[in-house]
Structure 1
Amino acid sequence: MKNLKVNAAHGLSMMRGMAETMIMNEQIETTVSRAKFLRGFVEKLITTAKGSGIHPRREAAKHIKSRPALAKLFKELCVRYKDRPGGYTRIIRMGNRQGDGAEICRIELVK
């Protein structure tokens, strides 16, 4: 969480919420540093969901608390990416935020 400048508990909570939103909406707008951190978090979740049995579901449920998001992860996304070995997300830079000049980007799931 060093590059996000937050403590570990807050950073993990923030990533869980952003990952849940990203799974449900398939895209999210945020700062570049948060998007880069979120990319690894979401890609590991999708790779875990591609496994078979109950263990992958329990591992994903540790991070995603929303039942609809878990259902979408296992019913839609793992089916969509079953033949793809990785690289489930893409980051598109969108310029700077007007208020503080932070670089904003959109991170989205590849179709």
Structure 2
Amino acid sequence: MKKWLIGCCVILILGVAGVFVYKNYEKHQTPTAVRVDGSDYALTDEPADLKEIGDFVGEVQHVVDRYELPKRNLESNFLKKGTKIYLEKKQSESLAQIVFYERDGEKFVAREIIETR
């Protein structure tokens, strides 16, 4: 009887540990992002073509925890508060939209995150 009880406890502990490990793994899969006009954009560190940069949208207003996606407009989980965000001059023909962000005096591309769920 004791062996059976110990075996059940070990299986239960391993199951709970597995759930925590999986949740932690999922949490660390969150991309660096900024939210603009209700859409999330993944920060790419891809240098921007200055000819494609359009109107100034605004600055990052809030910074959330690194491992959660932004929920409000002009919120980011990586960019510093005050980072400037710009629209693309003309919409690209692809489905994903592009915005630009400025960091350390340079401008970079952020591409829209398309959810597949």
Q: TM-score range by the shorter chain?
A: under 0.3
TM-score (norm 2): 0.24
Which of structures 1 and 2 has the larger relative contact order (alpha carbons within 8 angstroms, sep 6+)?
1
Q: Relative to total residues, which structure has the larger strand share, 1 or 2? A: 2
TM-score (norm 1): 0.25
* Higher radius of gyration, 1 or 2: 2
Q: Relative to total residues, which structure has the larger helix share, 1 or 2? A: 1
